[in-house]
A and B are shown apart, each in its own frame.
Chain A
Amino acid sequence: MKELFYFLVYPGLAFAATVGGILSWFDRKVTAWVQFRKGPPFLQPLFDFLKLLLVKETIVPAKGSVYTFLLAPILSLFGASISAVLVLLPAFGINAGFSGDIIVIFYLMNIPPIAYILGAMASANPLASVGASREIKLIISYELTFILALGAIIYKAGMSLSLADIIAAQSGGVFAGSVSGILLLIALLFCAQAKLGLVPFDIAEAETEINHGSFIEYSGAPLALIYLTKYIMLFTLPAFIAVVLFGGLSVEGPQIIYSVLKVFGLVLLVTLIRNTNPRLKIKQAMRFFLLWMNLFVIIAFVLTLFGL
């Protein structure tokens, strides 16, 4: 029963989606400010979601594989909510999770992109396959950077594979306070950017060149689920970074203000990166991660070994 509550209400689906929706509004509002506009109203993410879910018709592709097409958004939503639960339980100090959960989270966070690929491939649309192939290449390139950065963090925390221990190891001082921590923060932010599919790494859904790529055939309720997944991921990834580099998101008393600031600050960084960069080509993105970001993380790793 308790597990179900964790998954469905707090801190899983309902809570993560609500906060994610607020963050998505924040993201759009900041974008509007950057461009000297006023931006959407506060409830806009809710309106978008409800409109897609309740009002719009769902169209399935005539030549595609209908079940895979319709199940992919559900799969992505599951992956996102479970990773939200596993990140947020230790982050809020509700329970300690288990040893090795950082590895499980690493895999679970890959489920939404993989589900997008499945859905795109099932939709029998050429532009969607272009999007899917780009998404695959993107995953291949940022995953190594991501796991290397996690390796450095695990080393910093004294070879512990549990998020609760990583938070405990930062009680003296957060990891982001060191030189290597800042390098890791930069690398993880770019990985988060790529995982969220935001500019400059929105190559897989580039709406101006391949018309939303992987999502081109989705309409109505499945599209609503995809948006919900995106809201949840927009909360989960910053929360994860806050856990591994900023000492968790404590919700006790006044600490909650710091936690809110951490999440909003990280989302602000992501938004500013997205607003000040043009979209890369897939080749450039691969080179960026495979060459430069890996080099960057390896430097951070070496600095970690020297205790910096």
Chain B
Amino acid sequence: MALKDYVFKKSLWVFHFGGASCNNCDIEILDCLTPRFDVERFGIKLVGSVRHADVLLVNGSINVRDKDRLLEIYRQAPKPVLVIAIGACGCTGGIFAESFNFAGPVDKIIPVDAYVPGCPPKPEAIIAGIVALINKKKAEKEVEHAA
């Protein structure tokens, strides 16, 4: 079990789902993959097919049309898969929360493991979010062991 958790943590492949975002969060996510931040150091890699993904990065507000697609993408991902909601829009709806076609923040549609607030969050914040998620999984394990 320990080995499984360890290798999973060490090789998170990311699939990026952009909802109805203002595109600013998308750019910040791409920044994480640029040489300056270089997430490949931690084995994180952007993949093009959701079948290869371990982490679903969801950003932008989810509108009525996105909702089905997000659900479909989530179902297509091989489990275990982690979901991270990026940006104020992904976490709560942000400035789009009041709009007529808003279908709810990400966690109303699929289970979310970590939230990275900000409008847009800095790449440092996104990396910190992923690190927090990894540590959270570790802490959960310890609680399970203690219980």
Contacts and interface: CB of A to CB of B under 8 A. Distances in A.
Contacts of B4: 54-55
A15 B8 CA distance: 24
A207 B16 CA distance: 13
Interface of B: 3-4, 7-8, 10-11, 35, 38, 40-41, 43, 47-49, 51-52, 54, 76, 78-80
A212 B47 CA distance: 8
A32 B40 contact: yes
6 contacts: A37-B35, A41-B41, A48-B11, A54-B4, A207-B48, A216-B51
A55 B8 contact: yes
Interface string A171-213: 0000000000000000000000000000000000001100110
Contacts of A208: 48
A20 to B, nearest CB: 17
A51 B82 CA distance: 14
Contacts of A212: 47-49, 52
A179 B38 CA distance: 42
Contacts of A220: 78
Contact of A54 (B3, B35, B43): B3
A91 interface: no
Contacts of A207: 47-49
Interface stretch (A56-64, A106-114, A235-243): A56-64
B94 to A, nearest CB: 28
Contact of A223 (B11, B41, B48, B52): B52
B3 A50 contact: yes
A246 interface: no
A40 B79 contact: no
Given A39-B40, A40-B41, A47-B43, A59 B78 contact: yes
Given A48-B11, A51-B11, A56-B54, A219 B40 contact: no
Contacts of A47: 7, 10-11, 43
A215 B53 CA distance: 13
Interface in A213-232: 215-220, 223
B8 A51 contact: yes
Contacts of B76: 59
B101 to A, nearest CB: 27
A38 B78 contact: no
Ordered nearest first, which 6 A-B pairs have the shortest CB separation? A207-B48, A219-B51, A219-B78, A57-B78, A211-B48, A47-B10
A192 B16 CA distance: 32
Residue of A35, A56, A59, A216 contacting most chain B CB atoms (<10 Å): A56
